[in-house]
Each structure stands twice: as C-alpha cells, then as structure tokens.
Amino acid sequence: MKNKIKHLGVVDNIDNGKIKVRIIQTSACSSCKMSGNCNASESKEKIVDVYDNNLHGLKKGDEVVVVASQQTGLLAVLLSSVIPLFILIAVLAVAFVVTESELYAALFSLCSLVPYYFVLYCVREKIRVKLSFHIDPLSVSTFDGESSLTYNY
C-alpha cells in the first residue's frame, strides 16, 4: 500500500453509486500539543465524492477510509496547474512577440485557457475515472503499520 493517500472519513450520503464522504483535512502540525494555542495549525472539513457501485454495505454515519494513489494526485496537479501554466506562458511569449503589446499579450494568454478548460469539461467523465477515490470500510488492520497515512480524522 505504498504511495497511497488515505483519509479517515464518515459517510455523509449515498445515492446511486455516488458516496459523499466527509473528511477533515488537517495541517501537518495539528498533532502538536500546542496546536490549540497556535494560529499556524488549521483543519478544513471537506466532502469527497466517491463513485463506487460496490457499496460494501455502507450506510450514513459509517466510518470509512478514502484511498487514492499518489499518481492520482500528481495527475490532478498536472491537469489543473502545470499544463495551464505552460499554455499561459507559451501564448504570452508568442503573443508579445507578435503584437509587441503587453496588454494584448496578457489578454490572449488568459483567453487561451478557455479552450483548454472547455476540453477538460468535455472529457470530465474520462478524467473522473482516472482521478477517482476508492473506499475501504474502516478496520483496525487498515492503519496498523502503515506510514502512508497523510491526515488524521
């Protein structure tokens, strides 16, 4: 189970193969004894959609482990940040050379992201399959000896 990202969560809702799991994402210093007195520690509650037709007998309020591979996280960062950044910089450079105007170059580079995000929107179902979480019912053995647990609930 190396290179897995795990979150403990609680099933919030189940609807036709779509399971909403409430997780608490905490900062790395939340386990510190002084975190209650420090402004640096923070935690956020998030709802994660898990698409799974095998419901494992789950019901609302059950504790589960939401699992994703590290490659899933890297692909998400690549699609949402890295590729748009390269598009933005490339179009900015070309547009500045062609127009010799910073204003037009900036406008062209920003507008160049619209088709990219439209294509992402059109293929969102294919991307969702690759960027999906999986659910494991909570068991004590799930976390024994695992060092890859990233956040505690």
Predicted confidence (pLDDT) at residue 3 exceeds the cutoff of 60: yes
Per mean pLDDT, which range of 54-58, 107-111, 119-123, 135-139 is the poorest? Answer: 135-139
CB 127 within 8 A of CB 79: yes
Alpha helices (H) in the chain, listed in sequence order:
70-77, 83-99, 102-111, 113-122, 124-130, 140-143
Name the phi and psi angles at 66, rounded to 5. -95, 125
What whole-number percentage of the chain has pLDDT above 90?
30
Predicted confidence (pLDDT) at residue 99 exceeds the cutoff of 90: yes
Nearest alpha carbon to residue 74 among 151, 31, 131:
131
At residue 42 the predicted structure's pLDDT band, cuts being 50, 70 and 90, is: low
Say what the pLDDT of residue 98 is.
96
At residue 65 the predicted structure's pLDDT band, cuts being 50, 70 and 90, is: confident
Q: What CA–CA distances, in Å, run from 114 to 46, 76, 81, 104, 105?
A: 27, 18, 14, 16, 15
Predicted confidence (pLDDT) at residue 68 exceeds the cutoff of 90: no
Per-chain mean pLDDT for the chain = 78
